[in-house]
Amino acid sequence: MLFERLVVHDTGDTAGAALNMAIDESLLENAAAEPVLRFYGWARPSLSFGYFGRFADVAAEAARRDIVRRWTGGGIVLHGDDLTYSLMTPAGDPASRLGPPAIYAALHEAIRLALLAEGCETRLAAVGAPRISDACFANPVRFDLLLDGRKVAGAAQRRTRRGFLHQGSIQVPHLSERFRERFASGLAGNVEWGKLPAPVIERATTLVSEKYATATWLHRC
């Protein structure tokens, strides 16, 4: 198990692209003693691109999708039909000492086992593939999940003094509600399900107006 205890937020609600990113950052800012896993959906078809990406590369999608720049790195990800999740690991948690690759691999192994219970057999990529596109799911990296050679689960990460943020997308349709339970249970022996704290939502609302919904953030170099 990656953690001893894990708090899961899974309200079933959807949110706009900017608010989804802001909630993840707010959760990391408010990181408590235990790691937090969040599942979320999208109010409209959306596109997220990495912190170091260029808006010019995604601008053509603006008429069809909400576009948001992530705080994490990585490539372009289309959202709407995927299952999106984030994991916040406080700096004081023993798992933080494992390093990004080990956490990445542990999360995707838990997803692999949860998918297997759904009758979907995937495998962890042993090595990265040559980069062929800015689209995240066109470029498998080590420990991504592959289904018949196609990438179906990928993620991006960011580390701060407060902790570690991992944002992932699982692009396998028609997953059951049990999938989320199995995924969470594969990460920790003690799993607690709860609601997002009010201070997290309040701070996220501020981050939307000051950061994620602004042209300055979206178009930054």
Residue 181 in 3-state DSSP? Answer: helix
Q: How far is CA 121 from the centre of its chain?
A: 21
Tell me the pTM: 0.94
| Residues 146, 198: Cα–Cα separation, whole Å | 37
Residue 216 in 3-state DSSP? Answer: helix
Q: What pLDDT, in 10s, does the model give residues 35-57? A: 999 999 999 999 999 999 999 99
Q: What pLDDT, in 10s, does the model give residues 202-214? A: 999 999 999 999 9
| Residues 196, 208: Cα–Cα separation, whole Å | 17
Q: Which residue has the higher pLDDT, 23 or 127?
A: 23
For residue 214, the model assigns a pLDDT of 98
Read off the pLDDT of each residue in 103-126 and give the average, rounded to a whole number: 96
| Residues 84, 180: Cα–Cα separation, whole Å | 11
pLDDT for 13 beyond 80:
no
Catalytic residue flag (residue 136): yes
For residue 204, the model assigns a pLDDT of 97
pLDDT for 130 beyond 70:
no
Q: Which residue has the higher pLDDT, 2 or 138?
A: 2
Residue with tokens 């999360």, as numbered in its chain: 107
Residues 6+ away with beta carbon under 8 Å from 180: 8, 10, 39, 83
Q: Which of 46-55, 157-166, 183-192 has the lowest mean pLDDT?
A: 157-166
Which of 136, 145, 152, 153 does the annotation list as catalytic? Answer: 136
Cβ neighbourhood burial of 43 (10 Å; 0-12, 13-18, 19+): middle
pLDDT for 66 beyond 90:
yes
